[in-house]
């Protein structure tokens, strides 16, 4: 990647201390907001806007309104109602309003004397005396002047301790004024935006920081104003370019070429009791081709719950071992790592492939043995958690790194694992898996450093899971359904969100629920599993459940991933209204893994919030993981779905991957154009939107 221009090369890259009133102390606080230069001030974009351009009659105020009001103080008194507070009543002829202060000084009380005229701003809410504003912003208005209102909508910026909104607004005004004559350099060639109804960069910045009084607060709040779209396009382009460059730089490094020998993969496939689906075969062929190449593989495998991603990962691992290399599989939780280790061990032991589990719970002696085995090459496959990153972990000849549940990690952590595998100037291949599918266009932007494969076919014989949504008042009916299922030689899950009682969440604890269900179902064996059990305890419970000795398994959400019991055909999830769509879909995926009809019952505690009602409706209406992911994007936004550590995409300043999805194809085209013809503008673009502190080590 081309080097960034020298910091003083452009006027907007002067340090923020060049602005009037910014000394070392304030500069240190601004640094927490990512503001280091004059340009950074302009790209610290407002989160929302307030209309302070007009005075609203008090008589027309409604609860929830944020408005400017002006009136005369009728009374101000200190009262003691649980705590000391200053109550001030103002009126404007159309009505009255109470101002309430919990923190105030004697001087403040004296200034709010009867007859004084003040103008204040805040959110009106219902109080014991009618509408009130708690701790409003206010100032005195002289009786002989009207007092000017704001001449633009008031921006509200990201906050940090010690920097008031008024200070941030003043700095933005200074930066706009200081750069007004010189302008902010527009790095995009004019042709890239041809056909878009978008303003220039300078006009867009002026508008978002100082929207005129007639600007639509609604349009701005939705992020749909052309000025915001102009900035969103550039931000998406910078994010996309950073990943494209990361990919290009990584692939300039030599990797290990692993031509297909097919011995171990063929034996593995021969031992399976089922055949690969067409989708599994297609993705495996793509991976096989990548592994044979001399540059490191960077491939993401997406697939819905139960589509068979783990089998494909096992094939890739055996391919690498067959070629004389070690393999590491990293999972985000100890339970999932244990599940993977158990599955891989059952598959690999007949093939004489050595495997070890490395997690934080490993005892000192066993840990030392495992580390020695990895360093010597005696252990071919390591399965573990973040413990694999630790400095003392060394590999003899790491050829493949498999990372499960990509959104739980991020680019930085993948690079750390990659660097661990460096040997003789070569780097391992990377295979990333996720059961959180996202639309292809979005994947091409969020995972622009990866090739994307999709397993879009479930194994034959799977029946769609029927989802039922019931209030917790129907609990007795649900328990009867469990009894009928277990009497019919099937098994069931009951999922609780907590281990212990919590007044805060008002949720049933797993231990109490297990006891209650055991009493209600005396003829059934009830098991319990949660995150506080030891690995051996979990193994014993799961072994009993898989063997059919346990009829009903009460569990916390630790069974969200990795558990496969085909005979389990009923799942009950209580307090389902508290869970996100992705988690609910993952949990539901634990049933429907056999040929019999399966049901997922979502128990909720009324009343439901609107978003909870929508989530439960989505679960009832579809089993399609991609559709669930699309709705999850709509309800939660991309940040949680992709993971907060994913490249900075979840921390974007103005762009929104869902709202601005129509820009993504053009963003990808623009990135290709810049990489081919205008690479010199990429470094300053990345500096502007991502900053030096967010760069990846390889960019």
Domains of the chain: 11-49+154-222 (no CATH), 54-140 (2.40.50.140), 466-622 (3.40.50.300)
Tokens of 316: 């890739």
Bridge partners for 131 per DSSP: 126
The total of other beta-carbon atoms located within 10 Å of residue 379's CB is 22
User: What is d(CA 406, CA 408) in angstroms, rounded to the nearest whole number?
Assistant: 5
Taking the C-alpha atoms of 479, 485, 489 and 490 in order, what is their torsion angle to the nearest 10 degrees?
-100
| pLDDT (0 to 100) of residue 409 | 63
Q: What was the pLDDT predicted at 411?
A: 67
Whether residue 607 is preceded by a cis peptide bond, meaning omega within 30 degrees of 0, is: yes
User: Token match 């992020």: residue?
Assistant: 223
pLDDT of residue 693: 42
Which stretches does DSSP call E strand in 160-315?
A: 298-303
Nearest to 427, CA basis, from 248, 259, 297, 321: 297
- CA-closest candidate to residue 473, choices 381, 372, 574, 613: 574
- Widest CA span of the chain, in angstroms? 94
- Of 58, 87, 62, 61, whose CA–CA distance to 70 is shortest? 58
Would you state the pLDDT for residue 566? 84
- Low-confidence stretches of the chain (pLDDT < 70) are 1-12, 143-148, 180-183, 406-412, 424, 439-441, 498-508, 558-563, 636-651, 692-699
Q: Which has the closest alpha carbon to 453: 443, 445, 461, 463?
A: 443
* CA distance linking residue 447 with residue 247, whole number of Å: 10
**pTM reported for the whole predicted model:** 0.70
Structure tokens at 221: 């709040």
Q: List pLDDT tens digits, range 455-469.
A: 988 777 777 899 999
Ramachandran category for residue 262: left, alpha or beta (phi over 0 → left; psi -120 to 50 → alpha): left
Between the two ends of the chain, the Cα-to-Cα distance in Å is 6
Q: Give the span between the Cα atoms of 18 and 492, in whole angstroms.
A: 66
pLDDT value at residue 253: 85
Location of structure tokens 């990377």: 430
Q: Beta strand 137-140 with 117-123: parallel, antiparallel or unpaired?
A: antiparallel
pLDDT of residue 645: 37
How far is the C-alpha of 470 from the C-alpha of 453, rounded, in Å? 37
In this prediction, residue 656 carries a pLDDT of 83
pLDDT, position 11: 53
């Amino acid at each position: 990647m081309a080097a960034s221009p020298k910091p003083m090369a452009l006027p907007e890259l002067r340090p923020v201390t060049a602005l009037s009133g910014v000394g070392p102390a304030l500069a240190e606080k601004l640094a927490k907001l990512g503001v280091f230069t004059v340009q950074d001030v302009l790209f610290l974009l407002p989160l929302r806007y307030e209309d302070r351009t007009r005075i609203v009659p008090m008589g027309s105020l409604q609860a929830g309104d944020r408005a400017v009001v002006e009136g005369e103080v009728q009374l101000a008194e200190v009262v003691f109602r649980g705590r000391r507070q200053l109550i001030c009543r103002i009126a404007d002829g159309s009505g009255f309003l109470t101002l309430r202060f919990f923190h105030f000084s004697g001087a403040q009380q004296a200034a709010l004397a009867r007859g004084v005229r003040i103008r204040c701003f805040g959110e009106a809410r219902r109080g014991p005396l009618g509408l009130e504003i708690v701790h409003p912003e206010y100032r005195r208005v002289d009786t002989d002047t009207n007092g000017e209102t704001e001449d633009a909508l008031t921006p509200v910026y990201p906050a940090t301790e010690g920097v008031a909104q008024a200070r941030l607004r003043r700095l933005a005004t200074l930066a706009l004024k200081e750069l007004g004559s010189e302008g902010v350099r527009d790095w995009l060639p004019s042709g890239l935006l041809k056909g878009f109804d978008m303003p220039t960069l300078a006009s867009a910045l002026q508008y978002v920081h100082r929207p005129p009084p007639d600007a639509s607060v609604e349009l701005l709040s939705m992020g749909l104003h052309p000025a915001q779209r102009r900035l969103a396009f550039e931000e998406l382009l910078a994010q996309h370019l950073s990943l494209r460059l990361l990919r290009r730089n990584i692939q300039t490094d030599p990797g290990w070429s692993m031509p297909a020998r097919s011995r171990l993969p063929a034996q593995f496939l021969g031992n399976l009791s089922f055949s690969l689906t067409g989708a599994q075969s297609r993705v495996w062929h793509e991976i096989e081709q990548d592994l044979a190449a001399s540059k490191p593989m960077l491939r993401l495998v997406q697939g819905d719950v139960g589509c068979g991603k783990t089998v494909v990962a096992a094939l890739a691992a055996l391919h690498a071992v067959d070629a004389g290399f070690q393999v590491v599989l990293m999972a985000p939780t100890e339970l999932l790592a244990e599940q993977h280790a158990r599955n891989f061990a059952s598959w690999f032991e007949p093939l004489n492939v050595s495997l070890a589990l490395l997690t934080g719970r490993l005892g000192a002696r066993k840990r030392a043995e495992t580390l020695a085995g990895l360093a010597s090459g005696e252990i071919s496959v390591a399965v573990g958690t973040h413990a694999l990153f630790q400095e003392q972990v060394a590999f003899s000849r790491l050829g493949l790194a498999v990372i499960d549940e990509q959104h739980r990690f991020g680019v930085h952590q993948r690079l750390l694992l990659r660097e661990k595998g460096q040997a003789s100037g070569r780097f391992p291949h990377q295979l990333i898996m996720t059961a959180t599918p996202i639309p292809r266009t979005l994947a091409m932007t969020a995972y622009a450093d990866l090739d994307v494969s999709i397993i879009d076919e479930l194994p034959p014989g799977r029946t769609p899971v029927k989802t039922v949504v019931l209030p917790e008042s129907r609990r007795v009916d649900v328990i009867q359904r469990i009894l009928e299922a277990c009497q019919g030689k099937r098994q069931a899950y009951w999922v609780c969100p907590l281990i212990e009682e919590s007044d805060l969440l008002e949720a049933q604890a797993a231990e109490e629920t297990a006891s209650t269900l055991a009493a209600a179902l005396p003829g059934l064996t009830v098991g319990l599993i949660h995150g506080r059990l030891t690995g051996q305890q979990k193994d014993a419970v799961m072994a009993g459940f898989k063997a059919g000795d346990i009829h009903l398994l009460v569990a916390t959400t630790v069974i969200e991933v990795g558990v496969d019991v085909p005979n389990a055909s009923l799942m009950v999830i209580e307090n389902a209204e508290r869970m996100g769509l992705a988690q609910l879909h993952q949990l539901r995926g634990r049933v429907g893994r056999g040929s019999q009809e399966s049901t997922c019952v979502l128990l909720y505690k009324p009343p439901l919030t609107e978003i909870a009602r929508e989530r439960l409706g989505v679960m009832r209406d579809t089993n399609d993981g991609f559709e669930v992911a699309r709705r999850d994007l709509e309800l939660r936004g991309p940040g949680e779905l992709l993971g907060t550590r994913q490249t900075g995409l979840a921390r974007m300043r103005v762009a929104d991957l869902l709202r601005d999805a129509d820009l993504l194809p053009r963003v990808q085209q623009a990135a290709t154009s810049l990489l081919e013809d205008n690479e010199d503008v990429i470094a300053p673009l990345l500096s502007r939107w991502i900053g030096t502190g967010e760069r990846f080590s390889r960019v």
